[in-house]
Amino acid sequence: MLGSRFGVDLRSEKGVYARVGAVQADGKRVVFAVAETFMNESGLAALGVVNRFLDGDATRLVVVHDELDLPPGTVRVKVGGGTAGHNGLRSIDQHLKRLDFCRIRIGIGKPPSRERGASHVLSKPSRAESELVALGVELAADAIELVISDGPEQAMTQVNARQ
């Protein structure tokens, strides 16, 4: 989605555990990456990207992830925070030893009970929920463009005030 907006071609990158592509955007080199690992090992990809492309500076990393605590389609920008039980964030924390990077959170809604969290994330959403999440993906792409052009703090201010 976002890669097509920028015309970036993602290719597998040995030792990075992700498909990666770089472009110039707003006069900056921007690296896009999609982990090739399972969610609970996404920290391997984050570490590979930070070490290979971000000069070891994890504060320059932007992670896009699903969020149970937000209604479907809602998007929020956040810098830092905990893992909230998210296995992907937990893996990133284990590999980077920090959580002070920017996050673009796409709401997928709460499951009926805490015990059903995994099945909720892995189950097929209803048509209405699917449409809302697709809208959320579009809004997340807009949020990433704001992070690139104006920085995480300004993106947080603008995006979080919209919905």
Q: What is the Cα–Cα distance from 84 to 80, expressed in whole angstroms?
A: 12
What is the DSSP code string of 61-128? Answer: -EEEEEETTS-TT-EEEEES---TT-HHHHHHHHHHS---SEEEEEE----SSGGGHHHHHHSPPPHH
d(CA 48, CA 64): 16
Domain boundaries, the chain: 2-162
Per residue in 6-37, pLDDT (tens digit) is: 889 999 988 899 999 999 888 888 999 999 99
pTM score of the predicted model = 0.89
The tens digit of pLDDT for each residue in 63-114 reads: 999 998 899 999 999 999 999 889 999 999 999 999 999 999 999 987 765 6
Per CATH, domain 2-162 is 3.40.50.1470: yes
